[in-house]
Chain A
Amino acid sequence: MTASTDSVVPEAGRELTLMEICGTHTVSIFKSGIRSLLPPRIRLISGPGCPVCVTPTTYMDQAIQLAETTDVVVMSFGDMLRVPGSNQSLLDVRRNQPGAVRIIYSPLEAVDFADLHPEVQVVFLGVGFETTAPTVAAAVLTAREKNLKNFSVLCACKTIPEAMAALLSTGDITLDGFILPGHVSAVIGVDAYRLVLEKFQIPAVVCSFEPRSLFTGIAQLIQLADEGRTSIENAYTAVVRNHGNPAARSILAEVFQPCDTAWRGLGIIPGTGLELRSTYQDFDALQRFPELRAISASSPSACRCGDVLTGRISPPECPLFGKACTPARPIGPCMVSSEGTCGAWLRYHVSPTDQHPACIASGNEDQPCQTIM
């Protein structure tokens, strides 16, 4: 293998299936070309670590209804805007009403906006894992401090370790190792995985995002699996500790408590959601806008995002992949999120069997690729 890396992965050996959970890892692995450097016996599948991808359609429909409500401003991380709800996306709403949906980089911006604009109700779309949830908690605490009456969060934060256990408990997939998320682990610590993974006897390595050290971390995991060892190791020691970040976790514990929540593709997984504690119920958008509870949607029937997210199929095995479902016209969030497996696969994957991709990306394999210059 002719990689300019420090690690070597042996070509020969048993077939291994490894799952990376974090959506940023999915994209980093593609963008760094790591897939093209691993021997054919290594199968890398992507798990449910893209927070946008695992958000159910019901939540999108709730967010869209809020955006279309007079005097409500929905504020969100940019990645949510293109996700399709049952009929449209937040981007579509923003086109018609530019002020109704706004992109922000931090939940605290939503609090500042609410403070400056008492005439509108500001709802922040609280989507993310343990990396993001502490900042959402901080936003709620700040709103409490300022005694804001016009700020709330539509909560959809989720936690990772129990979801991993649920995945392994389905029995549908055989995994030989986990590539553990970098920044989630920075918050929850390496120890958080030990209980979950020791039950299933699977090795795992916390990996960073920089191409060289990410490759090293994956090579480390492959070595563990090849040797039949089931330890959990840390290849991102610059940022991740065994005990994680206690300050972040204490903010989380102050504001949130675990609850059951729906994951696209996995159904309801007990204890993997985060809901506001009763002290902070005022800031729950579902309390402030109870009509949202009546909304219930199902995913488009042909969409296989759920199977992709749980590693049951790879993106090209979805019949809609690259045809009816493309980044320009997405059916499910896996194609539209910048951290979605399908979008990454379509954009970056170089394989020996690639079709002429201009045809694939246009969604119509029969159409000849026209020169337009």
Chain B
Amino acid sequence: MSLFALLSRAWLPLCFGALAVLGLANLWQTSRVVAGTGPFSPSDPVAEVDRRLEPVRQSLLARGVREPVGFVATEHGAPQSAAWTELYYKSQYAMIPVVLDPAYERCEWILSVDAGAGMLLTARFEPVEPFASGVALWRRRAP
């Protein structure tokens, strides 16, 4: 068999072999980058916010609240900062179909997610129900 004929027959199988080696190497590399979960692994932050706010969502539904609820977070950076925005989005995911409004001043009800919100809200809002981990439900004071 000529060299050309040999090369012709072996070309595609050699390419497939190279693909196999490179592909498996890529997968193995990925397995070293994406680690499994063990007893020391950090918990999922989305699930954490979900757990914290589920009782608040149930409370608002039981009270028949249908309008948007103000959102206040004072210990996660300035409003609209990256950390604050991330917490707002996660909180909204947990609270849906209750809609959270960052412009809390125009809302009847307020959800505050950390203990420091009291100083900001007590002038115009009164606490209605405290929850674990500094979460609280507030309502606008009667004029």
- Chains A and B belong together in one complex: no
